[in-house]
Structure formats: structure tokens, C-alpha cells
Amino acid sequence: MANPGAVGPAVFILDCDDTLLDNDALKDDLDTRLRALLGGPLVARFWQVYEAVRAETGAVDYPLTLARFRPALPNETTLAQIHALIMDYPFATCVYPGALDALAHLRAIAFPAIVSDGDSVYQPRKIARSGLAAAVDGHVLIYVHKEEHLDEVMARWPAPFYVMVDDKARILSATKQLHPDRFVTVHVRQGHYGRAPDRFPIAPDLTIARIADLRALDLADLRSHLAS
């Protein structure tokens, strides 16, 4: 099919947290490190502020959480230590086994990109420092709710079709509802969202247990899941 301007035969839109990077493990480890620094009561307060910010903005936002948490801290030194713990975390240690190989495979057969929900400071930093941005040649976009920006994503990277890979069945259902003839959805059953029971209107087209399993998917088979 003639498709002038297409960046590849398909664009894979990959999520970051709990899809390419084990964010549940990162959060658990961060909790342990914060406890050592602050003690239990202050850490409990920190996560309360984190959840309040998430409820208010619709996404995790560590910079805003830190700004709101600051008055609870005894001094600026402690604030600087927490800031360093969060922003300079060794993110590469949390990339799932096989994720980088899967991205290399996708680069060979199609065009992979990362589209992640999150804030505009911490989230791009995590994706860059984990090595994931380089593994998709810097093709990274961050939104608060990615399913509200699919037209922008398609305009940015024109292609015959798209494969949305995510641990959240809610996002996959919303995407398929909006563009059944353009998007194939792949549910990665990793992390606490990925393991939760599906309860959304449209089931994912395909399900894989681990991100490494992406390597086994075939473009022609994926394309067969588009609505005609």
C-alpha cells in the first residue's frame, strides 16, 4: 500500500512503567531507601502527598510531590538527599529482562516509540537514564493521559498501523474504542495493573506475560487484528 511519509511498516507505541521498566520494584526500593533516611512516619506522609498529587493532577509527579513535602522536612540537607534519591535513582537496574532485546528487534522490523504518562521532568529523565530512550532512538513522548493524544501521536509518526503495548487494560480498551481500524492492542501482564482482572469494555487483541515475549509477535499476524 502506498504510504508516503510513513516512518515504517508499523509504529509500536510502548508504555514505560511496568511495561518496559519494573516501576513496582523501583517504588518498593525507593520506599526502603526513604525509610532509612526519614523513618516510617515521615515516609508514610511522603506517600500520602504523592497520592494526593496523583489524584489532583492525574499522573505521578515527583517534583510536585517534593515541593509539597518540603515543609515536613527538618532541613534543606534532607530535602537535597531525598531529591537525589528520587532523581538520581539507578533507573537502568529496573529495566525488565529482555526489554532492550525486544526494542532492538522492533527497530529491525518496524518503528518503536515510547509514549508514557507522567510529569515533564522526572519521567523523561527516568526514560533517558534507564537507557530506554536511546533504545528507541529518542522517540519519546510524555502525556498525562496518552489516550487523549492519539491523533498527535499518529501525526508525529505516520504509519499504516499502530501497535499499542501497555500494562493497563484500561488504556488499551480506550485506544481500541477510538481507533479500531488503526490500532492493535497488546496487554503485558506485568506489575500490579497488568495482573489485575480485566474489567474494561474492549478486551486486548493480544496478551503476553512478559515484555520479552514481544519478539515472538509477527507483523502480519498483528495486522490481522485491525478492524476492517
- In the bound state with Mg ion, the residue whose beta carbon lies nearer, of 17 and 205, is 17
Q: Which of 8, 10, 14, 17 binds Mg ion (CB under 5 A)?
A: 17
Nearest to Mg ion by Cβ — which residue?
17
- In the bound state with Mg ion, the residue whose beta carbon lies nearer, of 168 and 179, is 168
Q: Check binding of 167 to Mg ion (CB under 5 A).
A: yes
Stretch in the footprint of Mg ion (CB under 5 A) among 15-23, 27-35, 39-47, 131-139: 15-23
The least CB distance from residue 37 to Mg ion, in Å, is: 27
- In the bound state with Mg ion, the residue whose beta carbon lies nearer, of 54 and 223, is 54
Stretch in the footprint of Mg ion (CB under 5 A) among 83-91, 141-149, 160-168, 182-190: 160-168
Stretch in the footprint of Mg ion (CB under 5 A) among 82-90, 96-104, 163-171, 176-184: 163-171
Q: Check binding of 15 to Mg ion (CB under 5 A).
A: yes
Q: Write the secondary structure of the chain as one string of H (helix), E (strand) and C (coil).
A: CCCCCCCCCCEEEECCECCCECHHHHHHHHHHHHHHHHCHHHHHHHHHHHHHHHHHHCCCCHHHHHHHHHHHCCCHHHHHHHHHHHHCCCHHHHECCCHHHHHHHHHHHCEEEEEEECCCCHHHHHHHHCCHHHHCCCCEEEECCHHHCHHHHHHHCCCCCEEEEECCHHHHHHHHHHCCCCEEEEEECCHHHHCCCCCCCCCCCEEECCHHHHHHCCHHHHHCCCCC
Binding residues vs Mg ion (CB under 5 A): 15, 17-18, 167
